[in-house]
Structure 1
Amino acid sequence: MNGTRVVVLGAGVVGAACARELSLAGFDVVVVDRGRPAGGTTSHGEGNLLVSDKAPGAELALARLSNRLWPRVLAEIAAEGPRAAAAAEFDAKGGIVVATTSAGAAALTAFAEAQAAAGVVTKSLTALEVAALEPALTRSVVAAVHYPEDAQVQPAGAALALLGSALAHGARLRADTEVVGAVVAGGRITGVRVPGAVIGADVVVNAAGPWAGIASGRLGAPIAVRPRRGEVLVTTPMPGVVRHKVYDADYVGAVGADSGELQTSAVVESTRGGTVLIGSSRRQVGFDDTLRPDVLGAIAEKALRLFPALAEAAVMRAYGGFRPYVDDHLPVVGPDPRLPNLWHATGHEGAGIGLSVGTALVLREMLTGVAPSCPVEEFTVDRPAVLS
């Protein structure tokens, strides 16, 4: 044990990954969460581990690093406890991005070529190949690209597997505990205040997801992370109908849109249990958790254009969650220049599941003075979108 005390704020997938990585490195870790582990954004996601939706740059590098790490991390957890690793339901099923218009096909082709130049494995598909891979997909496909590196996990199961491993390596959890302030001495954060107590720390990691902006404000170093809401429809089991993660090429534009107005695109995939997850939407409504029928209807309408067979599907539930949004659409990972000993690991928006293990690794590397395994300069806390 190196004796360094670390308080991780947030027991979602990013906080759990950070807790595990730091515990394995010998840090004395306490995870503090305002609710229950994986009970916030993590449990309201789809579990995507994607490279297909990221343009060349630092975030794509982080995604590729994370996708290489996920099988290794889960294998290590399986050696500790097979049931926990199995609950993560890792599935390297690959993704298919399709365009149904000529304009969309041109944009998709250019995007895929740029990704391939950056090292991503891509394969343009013919109409016959698309039909063989996804028989239920519409035949009105102008272009399609297969991304074999895309994968999926069950998000809550994956987060709990990471957290369980952290606890097995000495980390401690304080659930249902709200952080209300910071303890500062000599200009450095030395702990966090919770109701009736102080938790001492040599390092505090803000991994509170969409609540990271609130948490950072309470600590006296606010960052501009805001919630961006999304919804998902879930069908009854339909085994074999959808075989990959399939989405329309306009999904990338919806992710990157700066407007707070509703953005929807067709994103369809199945789970190991056979249910089909249908997304996606993005809108800025603060922490209003109302499920709106018009939003769900817009999601369903676009999904039906891709998979007409879903018209016969029975929707058994819908859910929504909040993604940690930053105006420049990049994660926030690194030390806070205003308050020494405070670090941030947030702002991943809808990519937090996939990017979690890579984020945890580069955080540990930076904390211990090791060169990061991928570029991190674009993720700094002192950039305009974060400190605006």
Structure 2
Amino acid sequence: MSNQKHFPTALLTQSTTEKLLYFDKYTMAHPRLEEAFNFLKLAVSNSSESRIIFIYGPTGVGKTTLRLLIEKWLVESNLPQLEIDPGCLPFASVEAVVQKSGIFNSKDHIKRCLFALNEPLIEHKIDYGTRGIYRNNSGQIVIEPKVIETDLGWALEQALKHRKPKIFFIDEAHHMLMVASGRKLTDLPEAIKSLANRTGVVHGLVGTYELLTLHDVGDQLSRRSVYLHFPRYHADIEQDREVFQSVVWGFQLRMPLQQEPDLVSHWDYCYERSLGCVGILKNWFQNALFDAINEGSDSVELKHLERRALSVAQCRNILKKIKEGENNQAQIDGQVQQLRAELGLPIKSALIDNDIKQVEIQPQQSNSTLRKVQSKVGQPLPKRRQVGT
């Protein structure tokens, strides 16, 4: 390992908080993230009638990082417009929250959307002369159960038209599927589609593979939707394995420690407990880094990783969900044969043997792709990739 530092050396004398903040803010660019980022930029820039974007993949794969990168890009690319019209927003984001009852509450969600749009004049959009809507002593909006959702929906529509975000992200969007009995699963997605059409605002629904439940719910929703699959890395695919090793090495280089850790030598253990998901991997490394710094260690060692790793039971539970989602994705992609047959087109022989490996987003073969690891494990040759610039 080289003695060269790949982080500001001043960090070595700074506080634990500063060191952890540096590592937390570091984004390890990699092929999966870069391809998803470039695709999403195009989808936001030229949506046409496709104003619903489903962004889905395993938990901890890096979907939140992708969203933050797009938000950063939108701010930077819309600075001239913001100077002319400071009332507009380059983006807005909200999380779909499940109530204590385990049910998604659409009224609560619309309120969160209004707050995300920073619309303080909500009282000018709803007639507060009607009992049931008011502000409490903390200035928070209180909506009693008897208030109909259409009033809130109208307020949200006006806020979107006024603020004009390029995209409205709904994170953890799979929570919207947890509806109460008596309501159709597609009610809220259809309402979002209608809202996007009326306002012209692209909506990005970010979530797990559970979002695939909505893939075939209706021709109108399907026609006006774009699907972005953000998969994990697979250890049984050589190129994926090499990229994952380079990701591990990239993270170890950016740990602000006196001695560079040798995490790549344990790449298979890193893969085992992260399941090939870069988001899980980084959170794990962050916790191990915290422990090492607190102990006064010069480096992150295997013991720190083992202490902070997900348990076998946790990994198996997460992997089970991931496998179910990947199988669903494979089935959707496998419908190409059926579509061609229904259209009277010949079925290509290359489509006969479809398996899970064929449905993953593969890194593009270009100058920006990481070079193959030709040296022994522990000495990969990653290339610093620019994402979000």
Shorter-chain TM-score above 0.5: no
With the length of structure 1 as denominator, give the TM-score of the two structures.
0.27
Name the structure where helix makes up a greater proportion of residues: 2
**Which has more strand, going by share of residues?**
1
- TM-score (ref. length: structure 2): 0.27
